[in-house]
Amino acid sequence: MFKKLNKQERAWVLYDLAESPYTITVMATIMGMYFFWSANEALGDGDIVSPYWAFATAASMLFTGALAPIIGALTGYLGKKKFVFNIFVGIGAASTIALAIVPEKMWYMLLIVYVISMIGYSGANKVYNAFLVDVTSNDRMNRISTLAFGVGYLGCIPPFIASIAPILLIELGIINISFVTAYRIAFLITAVWWLLFTIPMWRNVNQKYGQPIEEKYVRKSFVTVWLTIKEICKHRSVLLFLLAFFLYYDGVSSIISMATIYGMEIGIGQVDLLLVLLATQFVAGPCAIIYGRLADKFGTKTMIYVGICTYVVICMIALLMSPERDIKFLTALFWGLAMLVGTAQGGIQALSRAYFGKIVPKDKSNEFFGFYNIFGRLASIMGTTLFGIISVLTGHPHLGIAGIVVLFVAAAIIFKFVPHDKDVMMESST
C-alpha cells in the first residue's frame, strides 16, 4: 500500500498515525476517566461531572475555531505553513506531558491543561489538513485522505494497548500501582509517539502553494480573513458544503469527545470502555479505507451521506440508553453502537477533507482550509454545549444526545444541494 505513495504522501499519511493516539487516548478515553475520577474525588460522587467536561471541550473548540482563519491566512504565505505547524505540535505534545504532572485531585487544573493540549492538537491538525493539496493531486485525494485515516486508526492500536495495559492489569489485580499512575503513563506514551511519528512530516513535507511573503504580512493576514470570506461566498459549492459540514461534523466530534464520560455516567465499567474503544479501532481503520474505495465508485457525496445517516441511527438508539436500564443491556448496546460508529467515523472525516480539497482553488487552499477548520471546530461547540445543557436541565445524561441528532438531520438536508463529484472540479477551476 505504501509502495504506491511518493515520499511526500507517505510522510503526510504518517502524521495521522502520529496524532491518532491523542484522539483515542486523551480525547476519547484516558483523560475522560482521569477527570471523572478526579472530579468525583473532589466534588463527591453525587455530582454529575459530564457538563464540566462538555463545557471545557466547548471552550477549547471556541478558541481554536476563532484562531482557524488567522492560521489559514498566515499559512497562506510561502514558507510559513511548516513554521505554524511546528508551534502547535510543540504546544500539544508539551501540554500532554504536563497532564502527567498536574496534582491528581486538581480537576480544574486538569481541565485547563487539557484545553491547552486540545488547542495544540487542533491547531496542528488544521495545518496538516491544509498540507493535503501540497502532497498529492486531485484524482488521488480520496485514496490518500482515507488511507491516512485508516493508517491512523489501525496504527494507533499499539500505543493504545500500551496505554491501557496498566489499567487492565490493575483491574485484574496483577500489578499494584494506582490508577493515577497508569493514567499518567498513558499521557507520556501518547506524547512520545506523537513526536516520533511527526519526524517524517518535518523532513519530507513542504509547502507548495501560497503567496509570496509581503511586508507586515501578519497584519495583512487579518485583512485576508475578510477577503477569504468574500471569496468563499463566490463559490456556491464551497459555501454549501461548509454549512453542511458545520452541522454534521459537530455531531461526529461531540460523540468522540463525550463517549467515555457518557459511558461512565450511564454505568459502563472502565474495562468495558477501554475494550470497546480498542475494538472500534479495528473496525474504523479498514472501514475508512473501504469508504475511500466506495467513494471512487459511487461518489464522495454519496458516501458522506451514508456516514450522516449512520450517525442519525446511532443517536436515535443512544436515546434509549437510560441509566435505569439493566447494565448488561446497556453494555451490550454500547458495544453495538461503538462498532457502528467505527464503520462511519473515519470515512466521513476523510472524505470530507478530500471533497473540500477538490473544490477549493489551489492558490487559496490554505485560506479556505482555515475556514474548513473553523467550521469544524466551532461546530463542535454546539454539540457539547447542547449535551451539557440538556444533561443539567433533565438530570439524565443520555438525553443530551437529542440535541446532536437534530444537527445530523439538518446537515443531511443542506448537503442535498452540494454538487456531485463530477461537477466540483469544474467550479474549482473557475
- In the chain, what are the domain boundaries? 2-203+215-428
Q: Which of 63, 418, 359, 371 is nearest to 228 (CA)?
A: 371
**Close Cβ partners of 34 (under 8 Å, ≥ 6 residues apart):** 99, 110, 180, 183
Residue 48: per-residue pLDDT:
64
Reported as a single tens digit per residue, the pLDDT across 263-292 is 877 788 878 888 888 888 888 888 888 988
pTM: 0.72
If you ran DSSP here, which 8-state letter would residue 213 be given? Answer: P
Q: How far apart are CA 318 and CA 71, in angstroms?
A: 36
- Sign of the alpha-carbon torsion through 19, 21, 27, 31: negative
- Sign of the alpha-carbon torsion through 183, 184, 185, 188: positive
Residue 430: per-residue pLDDT:
47
Helix, strand or coil for residue 104?
coil
> What is the second-level CATH architecture of the domain 2-203+215-428?
Up-down Bundle (1.20)
The pLDDT mean for the chain works out to 83
Residue 220: per-residue pLDDT:
65
Q: Say whether pLDDT at 395 is over 60.
A: yes
Helix, strand, coil percentages in the chain from 3-state DSSP, rounded to 5 = 85, 0, 15
Ordered DSSP codes for 15-68? HHHHHHHIIIIIITTHHHHHHHHHHHHHH-TTS--HHHHHHHHHHHHHHHHHHH
Q: How far apart are CA 10 and CA 25, in angstroms?
A: 24
Q: How far apart are CA 428 and CA 430, in angstroms?
A: 6
Q: Which contacts (CB < 8 Å, 24+ apart) does range 267-272 have?
A: 267/323, 267/327, 267/330, 268/327, 268/330, 268/331, 268/334, 269/331, 270/33, 270/167, 270/171, 271/167, 271/168, 271/171, 272/331, 272/334, 272/335
Q: Which of 154, 152, 185 is nearest to 168 (CA)?
A: 185
Q: Which of 388, 369, 389, 387 is nearest to 377 (CA)?
A: 369
Residue 311: per-residue pLDDT:
93
Q: Which of 124, 133, 105, 89 is nearest to 39 (CA)?
A: 105
Strand partners, 77: 211
Strand partners, 211: 77
User: What is the identity of the amino acid at 7?
Assistant: K
Displacement of CA 127 from its chain's centroid (Å): 14
Helix, strand or coil for residue 386?
helix
Q: Say whether pLDDT at 108 is over 90.
A: no
Ordered DSSP codes for 281-346? HHHHHHHHHHHHHHHHHH-HHHHHHHHHHHHHHHHHHHTT--TTS-HHHHHHHHHHHHHHHHHHHH
Q: Say whether pLDDT at 5 is over 50.
A: yes
Residue 133: per-residue pLDDT:
84
Reported as a single tens digit per residue, the pLDDT across 113-168 is 999 999 999 889 888 988 888 888 878 888 888 888 788 888 888 999 999 899 88
Rounded mean pLDDT, 248-252:
88
Reported as a single tens digit per residue, the pLDDT across 189-221 is 999 999 999 999 999 998 888 777 766 666 666
